């Protein structure tokens, strides 16, 4: 069995050789490094996962660049974004994004917030981000835009309160990706691997759409095409093939 009593204050401790918690922690580390390698996150951005044994908690690294995250950095939070155990580690101010989505969406098991360069033009213009190729459809058939200005006026654009997180979660709704005006994107998934796939191919879709717009009218996928393509590409067969390659690049922890 796995204990949530930390070996070091705030850390997610393992007291058995193998468990769902082991796997979740290892995959958060891998996803963080993969997304850094793929240019989705850099010094900023973060990945979390719902606790596999306690759905009212989630796992998230301490404040650190994603490329450098290790299993020792993983902390346990309640869905109200409070640490389960005290720690002297610095924690992300924007954990409010993660807790709010887990509260609003019981089906979501992993969340990533990022500022991928290809996404940013869609966060700073009136252009709608739409699925334009089959793998890109995994970002979701609809990608809403959340504007913090509408509810909170002039802020530093950081989502650091429950009210802001809840507002963002409402904007996400039943979708899988939400853009944040002047800030970036937040992506949800039903697993860490699915989240990683959605985040990477959502950013690639944005890149393809930007380039297609330079050539002429962008031909988007129909809603039915987007749903069908997403269903096909989010099967374990496809996701595991990509995960195997991505993890080879980053040499994750065993």
Catalytic residues: 94
Q: State how far the Cα of 204 lies from the Cα of 227, in Å rounded to an integer.
A: 18
Core vs surface per residue 37-75: b (16+ CB within 10 A) or e: bbebbeeebbbbbbbbebeebbbbbbebebeebebebbb
Pick left, alpha or beta for residue 111 (phi over 0 → left; psi -120 to 50 → alpha; otherwise beta).
beta
Per-residue DSSP letter, 18: S
DSSP strand E in the chain: where? 46-50, 57-61, 74-78, 110-114, 145-146, 177-180, 184-189
Per-residue DSSP letter, 180: E
The sign one gets for the Cα dihedral 161, 163, 165, 168 is: negative
Pick left, alpha or beta for residue 117 (phi over 0 → left; psi -120 to 50 → alpha; otherwise beta).
alpha
Name 188's Cβ contacts closer than 8 Å, sequence gap at least 6: 101, 105, 108, 110, 111, 172, 176, 177, 195, 198
């Amino acid at each position: 069995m796995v204990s949530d009593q930390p070996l070091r204050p705030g850390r997610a401790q393992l007291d058995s050789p193998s468990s769902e918690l082991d796997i979740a922690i290892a995959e958060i580390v891998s996803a963080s490094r993969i997304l850094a390698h793929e240019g989705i996150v850099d010094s900023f951005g973060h990945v979390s996962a719902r606790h596999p044994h306690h759905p009212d908690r989630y796992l998230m690294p301490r404040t650190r660049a994603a490329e450098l995250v290790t299993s020792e950095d993983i902390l346990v939070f309640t869905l109200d974004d409070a640490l389960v155990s005290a720690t002297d580690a610095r924690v992300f101010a924007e954990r409010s994004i993660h807790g709010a989505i887990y509260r609003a969406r019981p089906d979501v098991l992993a969340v990533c917030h990022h500022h991928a360069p290809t996404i940013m033009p869609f966060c700073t213009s009136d252009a709608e981000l739409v699925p334009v190729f089959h793998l890109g459809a995994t970002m979701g058939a609809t990608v809403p835009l959340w504007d913090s200005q509408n509810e909170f006026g002039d802020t530093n654009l950081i989502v650091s309160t429950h009210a802001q997180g809840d507002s963002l979660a409402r904007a996400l709704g039943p979708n899988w990706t939400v853009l944040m005006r002047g800030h970036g994107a937040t992506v949800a998934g039903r697993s860490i691997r699915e989240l990683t796939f959605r985040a990477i191919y959502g950013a690639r879709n944005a890149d393809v759409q930007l380039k297609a717009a330079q050539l002429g009218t962008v031909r988007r996928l129909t809603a039915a095409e987007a749903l069908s393509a997403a269903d096909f590409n989010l099967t374990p067969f496809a996701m595991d093939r990509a995960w195997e390659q991505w993890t080879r690049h980053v040499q994750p922890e065993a």
